[in-house]
Every structure is written in structure tokens, then in C-alpha cells.
Amino acid sequence: MEWTDEGTIIGLKAHGESAAILEVMTRDHGRHLGLVRGGRSAKAQAPLQPGNSVSLTWRARLDEHLGEYKVELLTSHAARLIEAPVALYGLATVAGLLRLLPERDPHPGLYEGFSVLIAHLDEPRLAPALVVRFELAMLSELGFGLDLARCAATGSTDDLSHVSPKSGKAVSRPAAQPYLDRLLALPAFLVEGQGGRQPSAADILSGFALTGFFLRRHLFEPRGLQEPPERARLVELATRAAANSSTD
């Protein structure tokens, strides 16, 4: 068995004395692991860092085997990302989400979204909103997508301001008024046609609160998992960055 693909590294762990097991989100083969012989050598460490874009050739005798990777660096992102705390916690958060995907199950849409995210993850003004959108994409890809296009009560596409925690559907501001204590806030940057301005710190908090509610309900809790601590730290850094940018 052999194939060649491209992907973004999301993890690396030692294996034996000199090898490493590389975890990559690939374009056509999903989240995929493979053995890299000599992967712990000083020469191999730099290209095998999480966040880097690589070309891969995978070989195995049988399809169900771990197999071996031959890796060629395409774009080094790690050196850039490591300088920004938001990027480091963002990458750890997103990598944790990707690990909820079945291994070797292709998700080309998530791959493309992840690639865009990696390109901007060290930009504090852009990264938080992109991570929230990626979390929405994860929910959708796994069958738990939110319907944020129109009001669940009236069918209107205007003035959408909240989301029902029961149905995952948007609610307009007028329809939401009697139930504000039971609804989740919907920040404008997640509403089609209303995302032009820079999200405020409150918008970012609302966005992470919204996706976090449904991630816990549909992805973490059914697996007996807690929300990863990296996500809480990311939310803290992201809202601080949003607050600082609004005063610049």
C-alpha cells in the first residue's frame, strides 16, 4: 500500500530510541498517523513541528498497519506560530478537536479551513473569529451543525441575535425578548452579511461560549471528555487581544 498526499502536522510523539509517530491532517486521507524513522534526530525535529505544511508518502504492507512516512517540508509555519501565545493555544485547541475525528476519514472541507487558520493563527485580530468558525465547521462536519441562517420562530433573516440551546437554530431579537435568560448570544460576526466590523471582546466571548456549549454537548461529554484546558486559555488570550485592538 502506498499513497502521496499533503497535510499539516498536528502532533508528534517519540517511538523507540530514534523514531517518531507523526500525526497529520491530510487533504485526502483525513487525520492520519505514520512512523518516521529517525524522526527524533536533530535534523528531523525542525520540519516535523506542529503547524508545518508537509508532503507525505505513506507506505505499509497492509492498509490497516501504522505504516511509514517519508516527509518533505513544504512550508514552515512553526517558527512563526511559536512566537504568538494565541497561535500556540489556538493550534493546540484545534488539534484536540481534529483528534475527535475518526482516523483516516477524509474531511477535505476541514482540511481547507485548517489551512486558512494556520495562515492567520498568529494574527490576534483575525485568529479568534477564525477558531470559532472552525469549531462551527467541526460541529457541522460531524452532524451537529447549527442553523444560523434564519429565525427559528419567524423565518426572518433579519436582526438575528440569539441561538436556541435546544435546537441550535437562530432566533431574531424581537422573538428572543421573552426568552433571553434561556438563549445563547449570537455575535454579529457569525451572521451572514453582518461580519464586516472587527469583533469586540464581548463578541469573541459570545462566539466561544456558543460553540463551547454545543461542543460539550455533542462531542466532549458523550465521549466522557472534559473541554481541553488549552481552549480556556485561548479564550482568555483572544478576548484580551480583541479588547486591546478595540482601543488601538
- Please provide the average confidence, as pLDDT, over all residues in the chain: 94
Give the end of a domain, one of 39, 55, 77.
Answer: 77
Q: What is the pLDDT of residues 67-78, one digit of tens each?
A: 999 999 999 999
* Mean pLDDT in residue range 109-116: 96
* Mean pLDDT in residue range 23-29: 98
- Indicate if 96 and 219 belong to the same structural domain: yes
Q: What is the pLDDT of residues 117-131, one digit of tens each?
A: 999 999 988 999 999
- Indicate if 26 and 133 belong to the same structural domain: no
Percent of the chain at pLDDT above 70? 97
Rounded to an integer, what distance in angstroms lies between the CA atom of residue 110 and that of residue 92? 16
Q: What is the pLDDT of residues 83-101, one digit of tens each?
A: 999 999 999 999 999 999 9
Q: Which domain holds residue 108?
A: 83-148+186-247
- Indicate if 46 and 6 belong to the same structural domain: yes
The total of structural domains in the chain comes to: 2
- Indicate if 88 and 71 belong to the same structural domain: no
Predicted confidence at residue 194, as pLDDT, reads 64
DSSP 117-182: HHHHTT-TTTHHHHHHHHHHHHHHHTT---B-SS-TTT---SSEEEE-TTT-BEEEHHHHGGGGGG
- Indicate if 136 and 216 belong to the same structural domain: yes
Whether the pLDDT of residue 3 is over 70: the answer is yes
- Indicate if 36 and 72 belong to the same structural domain: yes
Whether the pLDDT of residue 243 is over 90: the answer is no
* Mean pLDDT in residue range 134-146: 97
Whether the pLDDT of residue 248 is over 80: the answer is no
Residue with the three cell numbers 431579537: 173
Q: What is the pLDDT of residues 171-198, one digit of tens each?
A: 999 999 999 999 999 999 999 766 567 8
